[in-house]
A and B are shown apart, each in its own frame.
Chain A
Protein backbone atom coordinates (compact mmCIF):
# COMPACT_ATOMS: atom_id res chain seq x y z
CA UNK A 1 0.00 0.00 0.00
CA UNK A 2 1.21 3.52 -0.76
CA UNK A 3 0.29 4.80 2.67
CA UNK A 4 -1.72 7.90 3.43
CA UNK A 5 -1.44 10.34 0.55
CA UNK A 6 -1.85 14.07 1.01
CA UNK A 7 -1.86 16.79 -1.59
CA UNK A 8 -0.46 19.26 -2.13
CA UNK A 9 2.81 18.95 -0.20
CA UNK A 10 3.16 22.71 -0.09
CA UNK A 11 0.60 25.45 -0.58
CA UNK A 12 1.14 29.19 -0.60
CA UNK A 13 -1.92 31.36 -0.83
CA UNK A 14 -2.99 34.89 -0.21
CA UNK A 15 -5.09 35.93 2.72
CA UNK A 16 -8.78 35.67 1.95
CA UNK A 17 -8.42 32.87 -0.58
CA UNK A 18 -10.03 29.47 -0.25
CA UNK A 19 -7.67 26.57 0.44
CA UNK A 20 -8.48 22.89 0.01
CA UNK A 21 -6.25 20.16 1.39
CA UNK A 22 -6.76 16.61 0.23
CA UNK A 23 -6.20 13.21 1.74
CA UNK A 24 -6.44 9.63 0.55
CA UNK A 25 -6.38 7.20 3.49
CA UNK A 26 -5.01 3.70 3.42
CA UNK A 27 -7.50 1.36 1.79
CA UNK A 28 -9.64 -0.48 4.31
CA UNK A 29 -9.06 1.95 7.15
CA UNK A 30 -12.26 3.00 8.90
CA UNK A 31 -10.92 6.05 10.70
CA UNK A 32 -9.52 9.27 9.29
CA UNK A 33 -7.97 12.08 11.31
CA UNK A 34 -6.94 15.65 10.50
CA UNK A 35 -4.21 17.21 12.65
CA UNK A 36 -2.59 20.63 12.60
CA UNK A 37 0.97 21.34 13.73
CA UNK A 38 2.19 24.81 14.69
CA UNK A 39 5.12 26.02 16.73
CA UNK A 40 2.84 27.64 19.28
CA UNK A 41 0.24 24.93 19.77
CA UNK A 42 2.09 21.80 18.70
CA UNK A 43 0.11 18.93 17.20
CA UNK A 44 -3.62 19.11 17.72
CA UNK A 45 -6.51 17.03 16.45
CA UNK A 46 -8.96 19.02 14.36
CA UNK A 47 -11.56 16.42 13.42
CA UNK A 48 -11.93 12.72 12.86
CA UNK A 49 -14.25 10.47 10.88
CA UNK A 50 -15.43 6.91 11.34
CA UNK A 51 -16.84 5.24 8.23
CA UNK A 52 -17.04 8.64 6.52
CA UNK A 53 -19.09 10.17 9.34
CA UNK A 54 -17.62 13.03 11.39
CA UNK A 55 -17.38 11.88 15.00
CA UNK A 56 -15.64 14.73 16.78
CA UNK A 57 -15.02 18.17 15.29
CA UNK A 58 -14.41 19.95 18.58
CA UNK A 59 -10.86 20.75 17.50
CA UNK A 60 -11.91 22.73 14.44
CA UNK A 61 -10.82 26.26 15.33
CA UNK A 62 -13.47 28.32 13.55
CA UNK A 63 -16.34 28.18 11.12
CA UNK A 64 -13.86 29.04 8.41
CA UNK A 65 -12.68 25.44 8.66
CA UNK A 66 -14.71 22.58 7.25
CA UNK A 67 -13.95 18.94 6.50
CA UNK A 68 -15.72 16.36 4.42
CA UNK A 69 -15.35 12.71 3.64
CA UNK A 70 -17.60 11.93 0.66
CA UNK A 71 -16.35 8.35 0.40
CA UNK A 72 -14.00 5.92 2.09
CA UNK A 73 -11.04 6.88 -0.07
CA UNK A 74 -11.08 10.67 0.02
CA UNK A 75 -11.30 13.54 2.46
CA UNK A 76 -10.87 17.30 2.22
CA UNK A 77 -10.10 20.03 4.71
CA UNK A 78 -11.18 23.45 3.50
CA UNK A 79 -10.34 26.88 4.87
CA UNK A 80 -12.45 29.76 3.59
CA UNK A 81 -11.35 32.51 3.87
CA UNK A 82 -7.76 31.77 4.83
CA UNK A 83 -5.80 33.96 7.25
CA UNK A 84 -2.06 34.20 8.00
CA UNK A 85 -2.59 32.51 11.38
CA UNK A 86 -3.76 29.40 9.54
CA UNK A 87 -0.19 28.85 8.37
CA UNK A 88 0.81 25.42 9.66
CA UNK A 89 1.51 21.85 8.65
CA UNK A 90 -1.69 19.86 8.26
CA UNK A 91 -1.52 16.11 8.66
CA UNK A 92 -3.99 13.47 7.67
CA UNK A 93 -3.84 10.06 9.34
CA UNK A 94 -5.84 6.87 9.08
CA UNK A 95 -6.39 3.83 11.22
CA UNK A 96 -8.24 0.55 10.88
CA UNK A 97 -11.02 -0.33 13.30
CA UNK A 98 -9.40 -1.54 16.48
CA UNK A 99 -6.17 -0.29 15.01
CA UNK A 100 -3.11 -0.12 17.19
CA UNK A 101 -1.68 3.00 15.62
CA UNK A 102 -2.39 5.90 13.33
CA UNK A 103 -0.61 6.06 9.99
CA UNK A 104 0.28 9.59 9.00
CA UNK A 105 0.62 11.20 5.61
CA UNK A 106 3.54 13.44 4.71
CA UNK A 107 1.62 16.55 5.64
CA UNK A 108 0.77 19.73 3.75
CA UNK A 109 2.70 22.85 4.64
CA UNK A 110 0.31 25.78 4.25
CA UNK A 111 1.57 29.33 4.13
CA UNK A 112 -0.95 32.16 4.02
CA UNK A 113 0.57 35.52 3.11
Chain B
Protein backbone atom coordinates (compact mmCIF):
# COMPACT_ATOMS: atom_id res chain seq x y z
CA UNK B 1 0.00 0.00 0.00
CA UNK B 2 1.09 3.53 -0.68
CA UNK B 3 1.94 5.86 2.19
CA UNK B 4 2.71 9.56 2.51
CA UNK B 5 4.73 10.97 5.39
CA UNK B 6 5.13 14.57 6.45
CA UNK B 7 7.64 14.73 9.28
CA UNK B 8 7.16 18.39 10.20
CA UNK B 9 3.92 18.96 12.12
CA UNK B 10 4.61 22.70 12.30
CA UNK B 11 6.85 25.19 10.55
CA UNK B 12 7.35 28.90 10.84
CA UNK B 13 8.74 31.44 8.40
CA UNK B 14 9.32 35.15 8.38
CA UNK B 15 7.40 37.16 5.83
CA UNK B 16 9.35 37.49 2.54
CA UNK B 17 11.62 34.59 3.45
CA UNK B 18 11.75 31.11 1.92
CA UNK B 19 10.55 27.92 3.57
CA UNK B 20 10.66 24.27 2.53
CA UNK B 21 8.12 21.66 3.59
CA UNK B 22 9.15 18.02 3.46
CA UNK B 23 7.26 14.99 2.21
CA UNK B 24 8.28 11.41 1.58
CA UNK B 25 6.19 8.66 0.10
CA UNK B 26 6.33 4.96 -0.47
CA UNK B 27 5.01 3.13 -3.50
CA UNK B 28 5.83 0.25 -5.79
CA UNK B 29 4.02 1.87 -8.71
CA UNK B 30 5.88 3.55 -11.54
CA UNK B 31 3.03 5.77 -12.71
CA UNK B 32 1.71 8.20 -10.14
CA UNK B 33 1.10 11.83 -9.32
CA UNK B 34 2.06 13.94 -6.35
CA UNK B 35 0.31 17.02 -5.05
CA UNK B 36 0.53 19.75 -2.48
CA UNK B 37 -2.78 21.03 -1.16
CA UNK B 38 -3.27 24.07 1.02
CA UNK B 39 -6.00 24.27 3.66
CA UNK B 40 -6.47 27.74 5.18
CA UNK B 41 -8.68 28.32 8.24
CA UNK B 42 -11.68 28.47 5.93
CA UNK B 43 -10.98 24.69 5.51
CA UNK B 44 -11.26 24.86 1.72
CA UNK B 45 -8.81 22.45 0.09
CA UNK B 46 -6.83 24.30 -2.57
CA UNK B 47 -4.45 22.66 -5.02
CA UNK B 48 -1.07 24.38 -4.89
CA UNK B 49 1.00 22.30 -7.29
CA UNK B 50 1.12 18.89 -8.93
CA UNK B 51 3.93 16.71 -10.27
CA UNK B 52 3.72 13.79 -12.68
CA UNK B 53 6.15 11.04 -11.74
CA UNK B 54 7.23 10.52 -15.35
CA UNK B 55 8.40 14.12 -15.62
CA UNK B 56 11.94 14.81 -14.53
CA UNK B 57 11.47 18.55 -14.48
CA UNK B 58 10.31 19.96 -11.16
CA UNK B 59 6.93 21.70 -11.24
CA UNK B 60 6.72 25.42 -10.55
CA UNK B 61 3.73 27.68 -9.93
CA UNK B 62 4.73 31.29 -9.30
CA UNK B 63 6.27 31.38 -5.80
CA UNK B 64 5.76 27.66 -5.27
CA UNK B 65 8.13 25.00 -6.54
CA UNK B 66 8.87 21.40 -5.75
CA UNK B 67 12.00 19.32 -5.44
CA UNK B 68 10.99 15.91 -6.74
CA UNK B 69 13.55 13.19 -6.04
CA UNK B 70 12.02 10.04 -7.50
CA UNK B 71 14.73 7.60 -6.42
CA UNK B 72 14.61 8.91 -2.88
CA UNK B 73 10.79 9.11 -2.97
CA UNK B 74 10.95 12.65 -1.75
CA UNK B 75 8.68 15.54 -2.74
CA UNK B 76 9.35 18.82 -0.94
CA UNK B 77 7.57 22.14 -1.43
CA UNK B 78 9.46 25.42 -1.49
CA UNK B 79 7.60 28.65 -0.89
CA UNK B 80 9.56 31.74 -1.86
CA UNK B 81 8.85 35.29 -0.74
CA UNK B 82 6.40 34.02 1.89
CA UNK B 83 3.27 36.07 2.41
CA UNK B 84 0.86 36.28 5.31
CA UNK B 85 -1.76 34.59 3.15
CA UNK B 86 0.43 31.51 2.88
CA UNK B 87 -0.31 30.63 6.49
CA UNK B 88 -2.26 27.37 6.38
CA UNK B 89 -2.09 23.62 6.69
CA UNK B 90 -0.22 22.04 3.80
CA UNK B 91 -0.91 18.48 2.76
CA UNK B 92 1.21 16.31 0.55
CA UNK B 93 -0.83 13.77 -1.42
CA UNK B 94 -0.31 10.81 -3.73
CA UNK B 95 -2.50 9.47 -6.50
CA UNK B 96 -2.02 6.39 -8.62
CA UNK B 97 -1.65 6.92 -12.32
CA UNK B 98 -3.54 3.78 -13.16
CA UNK B 99 -7.05 4.98 -12.49
CA UNK B 100 -9.17 7.28 -14.58
CA UNK B 101 -8.82 10.19 -12.23
CA UNK B 102 -6.26 11.73 -9.92
CA UNK B 103 -8.90 12.41 -7.31
CA UNK B 104 -8.27 9.17 -5.42
CA UNK B 105 -5.76 10.68 -3.01
CA UNK B 106 -3.65 9.44 -0.12
CA UNK B 107 -2.76 12.32 2.15
CA UNK B 108 0.02 12.97 4.61
CA UNK B 109 -0.85 14.24 8.08
CA UNK B 110 -0.07 17.82 7.15
CA UNK B 111 2.29 20.63 8.14
CA UNK B 112 0.96 23.76 9.78
CA UNK B 113 2.77 26.77 8.38
CA UNK B 114 2.84 30.05 10.28
CA UNK B 115 4.05 33.26 8.67
CA UNK B 116 5.44 35.96 10.95
CA UNK B 117 5.14 39.61 9.89
A-B contact pairs, 22 of them (CB 8 A): A30-B101, A31-B101, A31-B103, A33-B105, A35-B105, A42-B108, A42-B109, A42-B110, A45-B106, A50-B100, A89-B43, A95-B102, A95-B103, A97-B101, A98-B101, A99-B101, A100-B50, A100-B102, A101-B35, A107-B43, A107-B44, A107-B45
A101 to B36, CA, bound (A): 11
B47 contact set on A, CB distance < 8 A: 101-102
Chain B residues 85-112 with CB under 8 Å of chain A are: 91, 100-110
Collect the chain A residues with CB atoms within 8 Å of residue B42's CB: 106
A56 within 8 A of B: yes
CB contacts between A and B, total, < 8 Å? 63
Q: Which residues of B contact A89 (CB under 8 A)?
A: 43
Q: Does A43 belong to the interface (CB within 8 Å)?
A: yes
A102 and B43 in contact (CB under 8 A), knowing A42-B109, A42-B110, A43-B91? Answer: no
Q: How large is the interface on A (under 10, 10 to 19, 20 to 34, 35 or more residues)?
A: 20 to 34
Given A104-B44, A106-B43, A107-B43, A99 contacting B107 (CB threshold 8 A): no
Q: Which of B91, B100, B105 touches A98 (beta carbons < 8 Å)?
A: B100
Contacts of B44 in A (CB 8 A): 104, 106-107
Q: Which residue of A lies closest to B47 (CB)?
A: A101
B107 touches A43 (CB 8 A): yes
On chain A, the residues within 8 Å of B105 by CB distance are: 33, 35, 43, 45, 102
Contact, CB under 8 Å: B104 / A96:
no
Q: Is the CB of A33 within 8 A of B103?
A: yes
CB distance from B98 to the nearest CB of A (A): 12
* A99, B102: Cβ atoms closer than 8 Å: yes
Residues of chain A from 67 to 102 with CB closer than 8 A to chain B in the complex: 89, 91, 93-102
Q: Which residues of A contact B101 (CB under 8 A)?
A: 30-31, 50, 95-99, 102
Chain A neighbourhood of B108, CB < 8 A: 42
Chain A min CB distance to B72 (Å): 23
